[in-house]
Structure 1
């Protein structure tokens, strides 16, 4: 099974009412690291987060010096941004239901509709997929980057291969190992991951060259912002990032790959964005199958679609909740 299909099957298998799942997200601070899968264990404030928006709240809006109590002029909220950048940031935050527009002394201003619920997520687990360990690529370097940086609470390698002692020796000891069967959805935990110190200074590996490795230290506050940004993107994106092509031969899969696009002509899960269309020899134009990916995600996880949004209520003089 190709890595794309393996990834979709794993996402379908681990998603449940206590786990939010997303795929292909940036897991770095200044470097370049794309993690295959992120699994989020919700925190006590997840319902408050779900009530704001079903999309991603922009990090710049969360970090901006503005709260729900008093509106602030845009020039004071984003002093280092050009006017057109301010406008784009505000538009994204308003569309997300996190900012509302007002005016202060005739100038454009914004206010948060509610306080950001920092504790909406608890643990972040990063999962690197490598169905075939005989073709590892830069697996060791990728996993070592995840461990040394420590954005995730835990890191796991998922594979369909038989894991030998030689394989284990090439994998950082902090990394857990799952043997996963994408056909049945069965998962064997061969090694539990070690909990990583997300609240301590991390080391980000930026580049590797023969005889030289470029690194930088990452402060706990930088890591906290990166974790929040990653969690927000995961909440808004999810893992069903595909659209069904207009082909009668592309239908929903079975078992762990339920809702994933299965091509009857190719006999496998396909990536519609790169493999489907009139250029495919098996393509037969027709209507897309009636698959409601939004409803499926809502039924299978803590994510909630199309919330009513949060409205402010005054709790005291100049104080809002």
Structure 2
């Protein structure tokens, strides 16, 4: 809604989630500047209870097969395609190669062809697919989970979240990032194995207070699934199931990244590193919560031009426009 003449505009009230959002984006910028990681935000970090744990920031450390994976597609390869019985040598009908309904199998196969992981053909009146390349399982060396808590004075469920991360060991390393001064009392409440960074989002300086331990990702994990006052129910997660979810997290991180779409407002702009910024209130904003009709200064407009892919390609090993590996990119709709 447009502001009326004579009304003094003020920024939306400072809320902890808004502060954490700006902190999180600043940390993503810092990680891109100081590591060779592929960085992503807000990814699932649980196995037995999907959606039960969302990790603030994930750092994907490239492995020996990274270039081979990057050559396939800039997008996420559909997890069900990776987990299907579709191989490289023999073409098969999607309905017979997926452990799901025929409609889902066809839809996933369509997407796998679209991103260049499958090749499609038409044989005997049926649509068939095969992998265009062998998937390099060694394309990421590590997954690093980072939990952001700028203010340790308001920890919320931080300790329980970090204990889950350590006992499940879905990620190779787990780090807590904060802006607060870290005392010995704080460290005593942070589970062993969790690293601690003190990060200043204004000047981009990071101090390593405690290095993270390497977790046993290849061992059985323990995931709390229900907490009651006098008991906690857990599930044991087998190594092969953890490996499956780790691959899903890695693929999602590679395809998603962390930069949000800037808001459609006349005051919206984008920083040089790709963060959404409000010129009226002179700060990084969360388009999902700060902007829109709830903001007193909102004026609808086209979003500012922002080439998020260019920012990402310039700052990380992610490849924006790979040549691809599929020899035939046959459209599956031709055979529908």
Please give the TM-score of this superposition, normalised by the length of structure 1.
Answer: 0.91
Greater shift in the superposed pair: 197-206 or 81-90: 81-90
Aligned to 2:40: 22
- Is 1:228 equivalent to 2:247 in the alignment? yes
Q: Secondary structure at the match of 1:274?
A: coil
- Residue 246 of structure 1 is matched in structure 2 by 264
Secondary structure of the 1:148 match is: helix
Using the alignment, how far apart are the partners of 1:139 and 1:127 within structure 2? 12
> Does 1:193 pair with 2:208?
no
> Please, what TM-score do these two structures have when normalized by structure 2?
0.87
1:19-44 CA deviation, whole Å, 9 max, x = no partner?
11000000111221100000011011
Query: How large is the Cα RMSD of the aligned pairs?
Result: 1.7
Distance apart, 1:104 and its partner CA:
4.0
From 29, 36, 43, the equivalent of 2:63 is: 43
Cα shift at 1:245: 2.1
Q: Which runs of 4+ in 1 moved over 6 A?
A: none
In 2: Cα distance, 1:251 partner to 1:4 partner: 17
Secondary structure at the residue paired with 1:221?
A: helix
| 1:57 matched residue in structure 2 | 77
Cα offsets for 1:136-195 (capped at 9, x unmatched): 110000000000001111000000001111111111010000000000110000000011
| Aligned residue-pair number | 308
Task: Choose the corresponding residue for 1:138, options 148, 151, 157.
Answer: 157
Q: Which runs of 5+ in 1 are unaligned?
A: 314-321
Aligned partner of 2:334 in structure 1 is none
Question: Aligned partners of 2:309, 2:94: CA distance in 1, in Å?
Answer: 34
2:310 and 2:318 map into 1 onto residues whose CA distance is: 10
Partner-residue secondary structure (3-state), 2:288? helix
- Which of 19, 26, 30 matches 1:2? 19
Q: Is the 8 A contact 1:205 1:215 kept in 2?
A: yes
Listed one character per residue, the Cα deviations across residues 64-117 of structure 1 (whole Å, up to 9, x for unaligned) are 112121101223202x42221112111221222111222343322210111111
Q: Which residue of 1 aligns with 2:90?
A: 70
Q: 1:141 to 1:105 in 2, by over 3 A?
A: same
